């Protein structure tokens, strides 16, 4: 009788422990995704309303130059990413993921409030664009440290057979944020006059984004830390010294992986501006692009992570990107020539599906190439460099390519090059990992 009771109690304890682990895992996934989602929401909203921001902060005689300056300011935020990656990433490796994640979401929110509340050029003169740049720099600094800490805690908290799925949720937060920004933009375009939307309505989405910050702060405060004392460095300087001495090549390969992905991501986020300025679609129709692309991307990001957990990381990284390289230009050219909104959106949705299916697995491959003790800072730095150099300049390059070549399909060529870069770098990382594992096995 006592033995039966003991067995029953042990089973109940194990069941409760299993529920607790599952609950902590889900909480970690949500906490990691929410900050990255907010980051991408801010960037998506800025890109979505770039034409309106240009008129408020950069009133130029040439509409093209005003738009180019507004998009350039969008890119300025990327300049602070490497510094944020080093400082906050090293802080995450030294003080833990939780502390770093709470700091990044707070800084990100402050930058968002600044953009939403700044008076325009008509009120502040030259100080208006200067303060806009400061806000974007603050957002970029926080985003630079956010991604490494978030990816690290999500993959470290996940069981061995669910790491792809875990990281895929961090990636899925990006298209979900894109979808939310597009839905809000669509509703505003439908409910407001063009004059009100241009003068003050574009500010509303920034304030909506700030509302998520208290929730994110609370959840991140109650996470289980994944960094153990044995992995902790004594100072940020010690972390940076180890990165410089040991991990230059893995950081370079991570940079190349993310560079190609960044070109893809900002190509798709550029589609609203493209639809308005190049295809001359009504804003209410163009604002639907992020909604459709976000829903597609979120579904395929999660599917890609689960497929990688079951069938391996190599195929999921290579096959979708090869397909994208082959079909991108003819499909996009046909979509723009058709003058059909349905064909255009369907084509972009297909391209997004191929990109997002392998995005999470590529991020996992890169992050997994570093040991836990430097993972947050090393991945943050590689990610920041890739996004800064290639993502930060992408929309400027797209706009300039269309303007100077006269070819509305020219940005797709840049997207194809980006996909080739990512494939080559991912295969190099996987090959290096395979050799290291073989060497360990040989030495017994």
Convert the pLDDT of each residue in 371-388 to its tens digit.
888 999 999 999 999 988
Out of 1.20.1250.20, 1.10.10.10, 1.10.286.10, 3.30.530.20, select the CATH number for domain 29-220+240-437: 1.20.1250.20
Torsion of CA 83, 136, 362, 229, to 10 degrees: 40
Q: At residue 111, does pLDDT exceed 60?
A: yes
Token output for 167? 């990281």
Query: Tokens 């990107």 — which residue?
Result: 321
Torsion of CA 234, 385, 427, 166, to 10 degrees: 60
Token output for 168? 């895929």
Mean pLDDT for the chain overall = 83
Torsion of CA 219, 225, 167, 394, to 10 degrees: 80
Q: At residue 120, does pLDDT exceed 70?
A: yes
Q: Say how far apart CA 440 and CA 7 lie, in whole Å.
A: 41
Start-end of H helices in 339-410: 341-367, 375-386, 392-405
What pTM was computed for the model? 0.82
Q: At residue 5, does pLDDT exceed 60?
A: no
Token output for 7? 């067995």
Burial 432-442 (b: 16+ CB within 10 A, else e): eeeeeeeeeee
Confidence of residue 174 (pLDDT cuts 50, 70, 90): confident
């Amino acid at each position: 009788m006592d033995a039966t009771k003991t067995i029953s109690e042990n089973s109940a304890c194990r069941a409760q422990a299993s529920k607790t682990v599952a609950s902590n895992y889900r909480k970690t996934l949500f906490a990691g995704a929410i900050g990255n989602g907010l980051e991408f929401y801010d960037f998506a909203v800025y890109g979505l309303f770039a034409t309106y921001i240009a008129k408020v902060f950069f009133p130029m005689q040439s509409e093209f130059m005003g738009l180019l300056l507004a998009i350039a300011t969008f890119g300025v935020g990327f300049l602070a990413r490497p510094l944020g990656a080093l400082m906050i990433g090293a802080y995450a490796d030294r003080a833990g993921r939780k502390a770093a994640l709470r700091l990044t979401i707070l800084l990100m929110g402050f930058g968002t409030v600044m953009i939403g509340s700044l008076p325009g050029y008509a009120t502040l003169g030259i100080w208006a664009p200067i303060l806009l740049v400061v806000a974007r720099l603050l957002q970029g600094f926080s985003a630079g440290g956010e991604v490494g800490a978030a990816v690290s805690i999500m993959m470290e908290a996940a069981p061995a057979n669910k790491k792809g799925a875990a990281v895929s949720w961090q990636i899925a937060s990006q298209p979900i944020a894109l979808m939310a920004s597009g839905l809000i933009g669509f509703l505003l375009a439908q409910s407001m006059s063009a004059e009100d939307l241009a003068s003050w309505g574009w500010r509303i989405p920034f304030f909506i984004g700030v509302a998520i910050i208290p929730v994110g702060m609370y959840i991140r405060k109650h996470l289980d830390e994944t960094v153990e004392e044995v992995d902790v460095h004594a100072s940020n300087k010690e972390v940076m010294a180890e990165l410089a001495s040991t991990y230059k090549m893995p950081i370079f390969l991570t940079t190349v992986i993310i560079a190609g992905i960044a070109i893809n991501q900002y190509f798709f986020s550029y589609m609203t501006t493209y639809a308005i300025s190049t295809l001359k679609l009504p804003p209410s129709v163009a604002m639907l692009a992020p909604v459709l692309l976000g829903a597609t991307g979120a579904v395929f990001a999660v599917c890609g992570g689960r497929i990688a957990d079951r069938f391996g990381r190599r195929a999921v990284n290579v096959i979708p990107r090869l397909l994208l390289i082959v079909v991108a230009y003819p499909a996009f050219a046909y979509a723009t020539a058709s003058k059909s909104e349905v064909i255009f959106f369907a084509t972009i949705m297909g391209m997004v599906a191929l990109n997002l299916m392998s995005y999470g697995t590529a991020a996992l491959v890169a992050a997994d190439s570093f040991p836990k003790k430097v993972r947050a800072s090393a991945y943050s730095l590689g990610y920041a460099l890739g996004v800064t150099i290639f993502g930060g300049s992408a929309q400027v390059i797209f706009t300039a390519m269309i303007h100077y070549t006269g070819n509305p399909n020219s940005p797709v060529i840049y997207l194809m090059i980006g996909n080739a870069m990512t494939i080559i770098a991912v295969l190099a990382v996987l090959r290096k990992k395979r050799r290291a594992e073989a060497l360990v096995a040989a030495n017994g």
